[in-house]
Amino acid sequence: MRYLSGAIAGAVLATSVTFMSSSSAQADEVVAPAAEPAAVSTTAVPAPADTAAVQSAAHEDDLVAELPPRGTDEFGMVGVTWDEGFDATGIDVEVRLRSEGVWGAWQHLHVESDDEGGRPGTEPLWVGSADGVAVRVASPTGQRPAGLQVSTIDPGATPAATTSPAMYSSTADVTMTASSAAATPRPAIIYRSGWGATKNTKCDSPTVVDKTLGAVVHHTAGTNSYTREQSASIVRATQAYHMKSRKWCDIGYNFLVDKYGQIFEGRNGGVDKQVRAAHSGNASVNTYAMGISMMGSFQTSAPTSANKAAVVKLIAWRFGIGGVPATGTYSLGGKTLNRISGHRDVVGTECPGAAAYAWLSAPGGLRQSVSSYVGSYTTEISVRAAKLGVGATGAVVAPEYPFYSAPGGTKARYKKIDIISSPMGTYSIGDVVRSRYNSLSAQSGALGVPTGIITTTKRSQVRHQRFHHGTIYRVKRKNKKLAAFALYGRLENKYRSLNEASGKLGVPTKTHKKLSGGRERAWFTKGTLTLEKNGRVTVSVKK
């Protein structure tokens, strides 16, 4: 398998991520270099040969397919698929793998339901590193699925990238507390560019609905003995299996969380959106409940405390922004489900494993932890939004997310206003002022972050809002639409020194513009201000 050397790999995940989702990305987004593409090899699994070895097999009476042990190129994940139209009830699929020259024991692969319109198959099994495989398939009916094949996946190497360390922080191995919500309104997430996602097909235009009703918890299956640096490879291999072997348009989960507490964005469409995925085997549940897969096997081993803490933060953040309670039930797709359910609650499967499933409802477990977290979900922005009321804010468009413009902070977008919180304070921006601000690249542009709310001036027709590097003037114009004009830098300083709209230049009529020859200009009812190439500001007043 194509892994990075230890010195390089240790820095990979800490340097190859970006906080901005595709749905709310602005100038703060950083894109990591493309990963080496995953390689998927498929081999047909034929009907068993009539040999003594078959007769001594564990499923000798109903063995319907067998691939004898064979060497392969090195791979890290394995799964088995077959053609549509076969009733897989009771089917038993097992694989045996060779690693470091030694053949291991037979391992069971759980059959996954499919409502994505692709190939039926098993869950993928992460094996770390192997170079040989054997397969056997038993069926209670004695019927053999058509098109049986085993897929072995080499995920390739994760690229190293150079981004700001502030854009990534892993979840510490700590116990969740209610106060954590105020510190991390959105947990650190490794975005698709960070783990090297393959471009989608029809998932490039994902199905997004306007509400989240619940969360379904899964596991990825396979060994729990993986390194932090291998986690991106597991995610990339899972996507390759889902897309190339199962013929899905993208990875099936909305999120994946490793044992170190690293959260990975799954299916394309935006981490803050309810994107239809392919995780539960029930089309309605896939549409209105997000799918979170804990990376590992949890039949007897419980998830790590870091894994648990990250899952709590992730679900609490998504439930908190959508007003979804952590407890109680909802009915969907012919099922009545807890708001936080296990995969086995939706379809017949052992997923997410007995130990993980027990944690969901245990005292102090997932549901109680999320309930506590959501109940104390307070940030400067959420407090401001609550004070203004939904009538003033409108519905959430982009939930709170961090940005890294100087000075950095967080931002949330609502239908009627934006709210930005930074070291300069927490302020809302609305109507034509918001439109003008966004036209100038918002907090990443010439104006910087807001430093106050919109206020009245001595001129009744003018209100203004201050920003770190400038001002936007909101102007009522006779027989014209309400307008907003921006000034920044030396032109704004000069205008303010001249008493702004109450002074000799009057009311702004155009936004600050750059001219040829390195000059800049602003227009007013009674004149202009021009920033000359030499840095001087010329005042011109109409006579």
Q: How confident is the model at residue 392 (pLDDT cuts 50, 70, 90)?
A: very high
Per DSSP, the three-state class of 76 is strand
What are the CA-CA distances from residue 502 to residues 457, 498, 526 (Å)? Answer: 9, 8, 11
Last residue of a domain, which of 123, 154, 185? 154
Q: Which residue has the tokens 């027989």?
A: 479
CA distance 398 to 82: 40
Assess if residue 317 is contained within a domain. Answer: yes
Mean pLDDT, rounded, of the chain: 85
* 396 and 517 in a common domain: yes
pLDDT at position 417: 96
> What proportion of the chain, given as a percentage, has pLDDT over 90?
66
Is the predicted pLDDT of residue 541 greater than 60, yes or no? Answer: yes
Nearest of 121, 310, 158, 302 to residue 224 by alpha carbon: 302
Residue range 253-274: average pLDDT? 94
Assess if residue 12 is contained within a domain. Answer: no
pLDDT at position 377: 62
* 126 and 213 in a common domain: no
Domain with 455, as residue range(s), is 380-541
Is the predicted pLDDT of residue 205 greater than 90, yes or no? Answer: no
Residues 344, 348, 349, 351: what is their CA dihedral angle, to the nearest 10 degrees? -10
Q: What CATH number is attached to the domain comprising 348?
A: 3.40.80.10
Residue range 6-18: average pLDDT? 29
* 488 and 502 in a common domain: yes
How would DSSP label each residue in 171-184? Answer: PPS----TTHHHH-
Assess if residue 20 is contained within a domain. Answer: no
Is the predicted pLDDT of residue 30 greater than 50, yes or no? Answer: no
Q: Which residue has the tokens 């009915």?
A: 331
* 386 and 370 in a common domain: no
pTM (2 d.p.): 0.68
Assess if residue 515 is contained within a domain. Answer: yes
Q: What CATH number is attached to the domain comprising 133?
A: 2.60.120
Assess if residue 16 is contained within a domain. Answer: no
* 517 and 467 in a common domain: yes
* 240 and 192 in a common domain: yes
Is the predicted pLDDT of residue 1 greater than 50, yes or no? Answer: no
In tens, the pLDDT along 476-494 reads 998 889 999 999 999 999 9
pLDDT at position 396: 75
* 368 and 385 in a common domain: no
In tens, the pLDDT along 111-169 reads 987 778 889 999 999 999 999 999 999 999 999 999 999 999 999 887 654 333 323 33
Token pair in block for residue 322? 């959508």
* 419 and 520 in a common domain: yes
Last residue of a domain, which of 354, 375, 396? 375
Per DSSP, the three-state class of 8 is helix
* 224 and 91 in a common domain: no
* 196 and 257 in a common domain: yes
pLDDT at position 255: 98
In tens, the pLDDT along 275-323 reads 999 999 899 999 999 999 999 999 999 999 999 999 999 998 888 767 7
Can you give the C-alpha Rg of the chain in angstroms? 28
Is the predicted pLDDT of residue 533 greater than 90, yes or no? Answer: yes
Token pair in block for residue 324? 């979804």
Nearest of 249, 285, 284, 241 to residue 269 by alpha carbon: 249
* 202 and 133 in a common domain: no
Among the residue ranges 173-182, 384-393, 402-411, the one predicted with the least confidence is 173-182
pLDDT at position 386: 86
When comparing pLDDT for 148 and 182, which is higher?
Answer: 148
In tens, the pLDDT along 395-413 reads 877 777 778 777 788 888 8
User: Residue 408 CB: number of other CB atoms within 10 A?
Assistant: 15
Last residue of a domain, which of 331, 346, 375? 375
Assess if residue 15 is contained within a domain. Answer: no
DSSP 56: T
Assess if residue 132 is contained within a domain. Answer: yes
Domain count, the chain: 3
In tens, the pLDDT along 42-83 reads 999 999 986 444 444 455 558 999 999 999 999 999 999 999
Assess if residue 19 is contained within a domain. Answer: no
Q: How confident is the model at residue 98 (pLDDT cuts 50, 70, 90)?
A: very high
* 233 and 305 in a common domain: yes
Q: In what order do the strands lie in the sheet with 527-531?
A: 508-514, 520-524, 527-531, 537-541
Is the predicted pLDDT of residue 326 greater than 90, yes or no? Answer: no
